[in-house]
Amino acid sequence: MGGTVTAAPWKQLLVDALESNAHFKHSSFFQLATVGYNGRPSNRTVVFRGFEEDCDKIQINTDCRSRKIEELKHCPFAEICWYFTDSWEQFRINGTIETIDGSNPDPRKLQQREKCWFASSLNSRLQYLGPNPGLPRLNEEPPKEVILDRSIGPVGAFCVLVLDPEQVDYLNLKSNQRLVFTSTHVNGVKCWTSEEINP
């Protein structure tokens, strides 16, 4: 049984895995599972957009018109699963997700959203100007070319999801090691404990 610490001890493991697998483009992709309206799992692949400044919260860019947004409003619990093919490491990270869209009343959150927007590639930004995701395609005409001014801030459909980790299940298949990190709040501070378990 490990001790209690305030800094997230699993974060460095994840940063190391990202660095050692950086030569694979797919290392920045992971699966995000939410709870559907019918109570069943709803899963998709998303892109890691970094950690929120000075903490262990994970950022994901998405379209606020997508189904996952309504699912998260209904139930904010989610889990990501990340597998690194070169180092044989798996991270399962569960917690709650906050959605930051253009209607957020907190100026700092809006600034965070804008920062994420400008950190995205132009091609990525253009996706938010397309038709509503998940709806039937209405015609067979090729999509019209969309022009986006690089200097203009986030469009209405752009939002940022912020996963606040509560538990991390780490598995290293090369070393046959498995650790579970669990968070608790002590006097308003998030603290982590770790325990080694059987793989």
Domain map (residue ranges) of the chain: 4-131+152-197
Q: Reduced to 3 states, what is the DSSP secondary structure of residue 26?
A: helix
Please provide the DSSP assignment of 74-135 as one string: H--EEEEEEEETTTTEEEEEEEEEEEE-TT-S-HHHHHHHHHHHHHS-HHHHHGGGSSPTTS
Q: 146 or 166: whose pLDDT is higher? A: 166
**pTM surpassing 0.75?**
yes
Please tell me the CATH code under which domain 4-131+152-197 is placed.
2.30.110.10
Cα distance between residue 139 and residue 147, in whole Å: 21
Cα distance between residue 59 and residue 50, in whole Å: 6
Does residue 141 contact residue 132 with C-beta atoms inside 8 Å? no
Strand partners for 31: 45, 81
pLDDT in tens, 46-61: 999 999 988 999 999 9
pLDDT in tens, 8-47: 999 999 999 999 999 999 999 999 999 998 999 999 999 9
Q: 144 or 42: whose pLDDT is higher? A: 42
DSSP symbol at 51: B
Please provide the DSSP assignment of 140-183 as one string: -SPPPP----TTS---TTEEEEEEEEEEEEEEETTTTEEEEEEE
pLDDT of residue 191: 93
